[in-house]
């Protein structure tokens, strides 16, 4: 990327619009997906168990994930929408999306290895909150959300953020 | 503090707070999970490879004809025995069913149970075991055989519920898992009861 491109991107960032858009989409998605799981923790527990990532004798970890992950998603979403601690919230969403996507990919490859269908025909309820989805649609969706998390982390603008309106600590 | 370090610090705070909020909300929620509870006793999931489970015992041979051998192996590995649709119907139509010599246990949640269950079946949602434990403790010693079912297909709740019943002192030889579940029951045109147990409200199957 040339220096002029970088300057143009920074100018665009200074408007605060890329960050605002990223916060709204990412925050809204995380709140929606988290809220859809909260009312039925048992269903979510069953779905995340399907990944087989937690050993059977570690039910505390599995149960803890089932009850805490949806609230964590909502918490990140609320922080992003409000514009408070957005660097931490953006890093958290990026980390979560990386873990979720990796788990989905592993499970899809596992199903693919059993044969019988092409990779893009693989469809299952990933426990993401939106029901059954095709892997070839879910993974790009997650990549898009990761990109938005990058924007949140990269942006230096704090326009439209509640944090910028809070009184600063005396230096 | 460098921006990267600050991001990591903030992320730790956000993750810690979010997870903490989740655990607190779970503790105060009516729908909360018991973190210590193993909701999937037996351990083996349906994704386990056949090499991980022992061969099907001879006692299962009567059911082997119509039930997936992999499923039979999985049940056997948990010390459980399958029941075919024909065997379940035989017990349902037995006059002793009315006297609870044969007891059917529906291992699904409240919504599914009230939408339609095998007439006379008790509900035992093992994820909420404390709500049903007392009733199960009365049923276990008095019944000749207990048939547990859930949706059928991929559903493992009947197996988990059966293992819970074993944990409550049920005799493994008197517990059968109806693997076809409510799906096979319905598809084969058998009656369904709606609402509470013995409500008498039968599902209208006319189009």
Note the helical H segments in A39-134.
Answer: 41-49, 59-82, 86-113
Give strand pairing partners of A133.
Answer: A124
Q: Which residues from chain B sit within 8 angstroms of residue A75, using beta carbons?
A: 14, 17-18, 21
Whether B7 has a pLDDT exceeding 90, the answer reads no
Q: Which pLDDT does position B98 carry in this prediction?
A: 93
CB contact under 8 A, B10 and A41: no
Arithmetic mean of pLDDT over chain B:
86
- A36 in contact with B at a CB cutoff of 8 Å? no
What integer is the mean pLDDT of B63-67?
61
CA distance B74 to B45: 8
Task: Please give the class, per CATH, of domain B55-187.
Answer: alpha beta
Q: Is the dihedral of CA B48, B53, B56, B60 positive or negative?
A: negative
User: What confidence tens digit (pLDDT) does each residue in A40-67 have?
Assistant: 899 999 999 999 889 888 999 999 999 9
What integer is the mean pLDDT of A81-97?
94
Which of B12, B15, B37 is closest, CB to CB, to A59? B37
Instruction: Tell me which residues of chain A, numbers 121 to 140, contact chain B at a CB-CB cutoff of 8 Å.
Output: none
Q: Which pLDDT does position B45 carry in this prediction?
A: 53
Closest CA to B103 of B120, B79, B84: B120
Q: Which pLDDT does position B48 carry in this prediction?
A: 40
- Kindly list the distances between the CA atom of residue A94 and the CA atoms of A99, B172, B191, in Å, as whole numbers in the listed order: 9, 48, 51
Whether A169 has a pLDDT exceeding 80, the answer reads no
Nearest CA in chain A to B27: A67
Whether A5 has a pLDDT exceeding 70, the answer reads yes
Percent of chain A residues topping a pLDDT of 70: 96
Indicate the range of A109-113, A116-120, B3-7, B149-153 predicted with least confidence: B3-7
Q: What are the backbone angles phi and psi of residue A124, rounded to the nearest 5°?
A: -155, 165
- B39 in contact with A at a CB cutoff of 8 Å? yes
Q: Which pLDDT does position A141 carry in this prediction?
A: 95
Whether B191 has a pLDDT exceeding 90, the answer reads yes
CB contact under 8 A, B22 and A76: no
Whether B53 has a pLDDT exceeding 50, the answer reads no
Interchain CB contacts (distance < 8 Å): A and B: 107
What residue ranges do the domains of chain A occupy? 10-162
- A24 in contact with B at a CB cutoff of 8 Å? no
Q: Which pLDDT does position B207 carry in this prediction?
A: 45
Closest CA to B157 of A62, A45, A55: A45
Instruction: Name the band, by pLDDT with cuts 50, 70 and 90, for residue B170.
Output: very high
Q: Is the pLDDT higher at B134 or at A163?
A: B134
- A98 in contact with B at a CB cutoff of 8 Å? no
Nearest CA in chain A to B8: A88
The minimum CA-CA distance between B134 and chain A, rounded to whole Å, is 22
CB B82 within 8 A of CB B102: no
Q: What are the backbone angles phi and psi of residue B170, rounded to the nearest 5°?
A: -70, 150
Give strand pairing partners of B202.
Answer: B193
Q: Which residues from chain A sit within 8 angstroms of residue B21, using beta carbons?
A: 71-72, 75
Question: Under the phi-then-psi rule, with left for phi > 0, alpha for psi from -120 to 50, and beta for the rest, what region is B33?
Answer: beta
User: What confidence tens digit (pLDDT) does each residue in A16-36 have?
Assistant: 899 999 999 999 999 999 999
Residue with tokens 């704090």: A158
User: What confidence tens digit (pLDDT) does each residue in B122-147 have?
Assistant: 999 999 988 999 999 999 999 999 99
Whether B47 has a pLDDT exceeding 70, the answer reads no
Closest CA to B156 of A45, A94, A29, A6: A45
What integer is the mean pLDDT of A58-79?
95
- B50 in contact with A at a CB cutoff of 8 Å? no
Which of B3, B11, B37 is closest, CB to CB, to A95? B11
User: What confidence tens digit (pLDDT) does each residue in B31-44 have?
Assistant: 899 999 989 887 65
Whether B61 has a pLDDT exceeding 80, the answer reads no
């Amino acid at each position: 990327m040339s220096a002029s491109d970088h300057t143009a991107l920074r100018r665009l960032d200074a408007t605060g619009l890329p960050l605002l858009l990223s916060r709204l989409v990412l925050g809204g998605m995380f709140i929606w997906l988290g809220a859809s799981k909260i009312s039925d923790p048992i269903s979510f527990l069953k779905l995340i168990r399907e990944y087989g990532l937690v050993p059977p004798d570690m039910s505390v970890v599995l149960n803890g994930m089932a009850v805490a992950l949806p609230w964590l998603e909502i918490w990140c979403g609320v922080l992003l929408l409000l514009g408070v601690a957005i660097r931490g919230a953006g890093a958290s969403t990026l980390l979560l999306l990386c873990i979720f996507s990796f788990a989905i990919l592993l499970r899809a490859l596992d199903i693919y290895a059993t044969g019988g269908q092409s990779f893009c025909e693989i469809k299952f309820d990933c426990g993401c909150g939106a029901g059954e989805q095709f892997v070839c649609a879910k993974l790009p969706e997650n990549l898009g959300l990761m990109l938005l998390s990058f924007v949140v982390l990269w942006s230096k603008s704090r326009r439209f953020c509640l944090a910028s309106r809070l009184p600063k600590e005396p230096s | 503090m460098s921006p990267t370090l600050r991001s990591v610090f903030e992320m730790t705070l956000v993750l810690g707070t979010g997870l903490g909020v989740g655990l607190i909300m779970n503790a105060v929620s009516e729908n909360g999970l018991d973190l210590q509870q193993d909701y999937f006793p037996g351990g083996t999931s349906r994704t386990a490879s056949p090499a991980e489970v022992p061969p099907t015992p001879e006692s299962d041979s009567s059911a082997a004809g119509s039930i997936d051998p992999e499923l039979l192996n999985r049940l056997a590995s948990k010390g459980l025995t399958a029941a075919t649709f024909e065997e379940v119907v035989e017990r349902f139509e037995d006059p002793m069913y009315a006297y609870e010599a044969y007891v059917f246990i529906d291992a699904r949640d409240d919504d599914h149970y009230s939408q339609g269950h095998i007439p006379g079946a008790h509900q035992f949602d093992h994820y909420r075991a404390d709500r049903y434990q007392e009733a199960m403790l009365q049923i276990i010693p008095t019944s000749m055989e207990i048939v547990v079912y859930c949706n059928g297909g991929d559903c493992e709740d009947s197996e988990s519920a059966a293992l819970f019943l074993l944990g409550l002192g049920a005799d493994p030889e008197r517990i059968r898992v109806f693997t076809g579940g409510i799906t096979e029951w319905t598809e084969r045109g058998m009656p369904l009861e709606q609402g509470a147990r013995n409500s008498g409200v039968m599902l209208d199957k006319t189009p």
